[in-house]
Amino acid sequence: MTLLIDKHVKPSIQEILESGTFLVTGEIGPPKGTDIDEMIHHIDLLKDKVHAMNITDNQSSVMRYPSLGTALIIKERGGEPNLQVTCRDRNRLAIEADLLFAYTRGIRSVLCLTGDSIPVGDHKEAKGVFDCESVQLLQIIRNMEEGKDSGGNELQGGVQFYKGAIVTPEADPIEPQMIKFEKKIEAGAQWFQTQAVYDMDNFKRFMERARKINDKVKICAGLVLLTSMGAIKYMNANVPGVFVPDHLVKEMAEAPKGEALNTGIRIMARQIRQCIDEKLCDGVHIMAIGKEDVVPRILEEAGVDITKM
């Protein structure tokens, strides 16, 4: 098979994780429209600071510039994309077709998600598809790697993706989450990014449980930048599976006026350093949520330079 893009500009996520290198990924949130200048600025800013960039797929059910289109821009500009694929907006035919296209364009890493429900977004009258969910999507991709689509029909050329999935360490109770974690591995997940982690002691306990289930699968901690007390109060009250512990609430609350963001930067840098120094996990996924310009500073404060890892 002839590929339209024959080789990686950068090492793939799979190559990095399987080499034992600590993975550092960032995140790109596409714009709601065709003005992509700021998005390109963020891509150029991050491409040499992180190993790869996630591209959100109509995050929070808000219509945006497509994740697949953004992934191609990242490739064109010398970065490495991690393509998020949700099951909310497309049926399995459309998802499979997108994956065939992505593979021929040199995309090798996908993150499989079920997707947020429609009512949380900005298209209240839209219909959620959910023809499959994340576990089934992983199985579909595995079938495609074996040369067949989800209908059992032969493909004229298959795919080979490094299949990622999501897990929520802060879920309470944690047992259903661990069952889903194991099901995703059985369906073909090779690596995981977690939802937001703030309580590092709880994360250690989660990792102990996860390693007992499977000590080969790679797990990267998801870290979300704290920017204000308002954001903390909202997350603790409204976001399932996310909990900012009291000691971090106190640290943010005691930040001098105008210093909340700087305090959040220091907290995240400290978390990254702890993950590395204590060998808690295989990497970190940095979610700056609109503050992508500070990611290089976070990494500098954490003493992280991907060219020296």
Residue by residue, DSSP assigns 185-196 as HHHT--EEEEEE
- pLDDT at 116 (0 to 100): 85
Contact 254, 284 (CB under 8 A): no
**Residue 104: exposed, middle, or buried by beta-carbon count in 10 A (0-12, 13-18, 19+)?**
middle
The pLDDT of residue 1 is 43
Comparing CA positions, the residue from 128, 111, 126, 26 lying closest to residue 68 is: 111
Q: What is the pTM of this model?
A: 0.94
In the chain, DSSP finds a helix count (H) and a strand count (E) of 11, 8
Q: How much is the pLDDT for 9? A: 59
Q: Is residue 5 within 8 Å of residue 72, measured between CB atoms?
A: no
Q: Name the stretches of the chain with pLDDT < 70.
A: 1-9
Looking at residue 282, its pLDDT comes to 99
Output the pLDDT for position 201. Answer: 97
Query: For the chain, what are the domain ranges?
Result: 13-300
d(CA 238, CA 69): 31
Contacts of 76 (CB under 8 A, 6+ apart): none
Which CATH code of 3.20.20.220, 3.10.129.10, 3.30.379.10, 3.30.930.10 fits the domain covering 13-300? Answer: 3.20.20.220
Q: Which residues pair with 191 in a beta bridge?
A: 164, 218
* Predicted local distance difference test score (pLDDT) of residue 10: 83
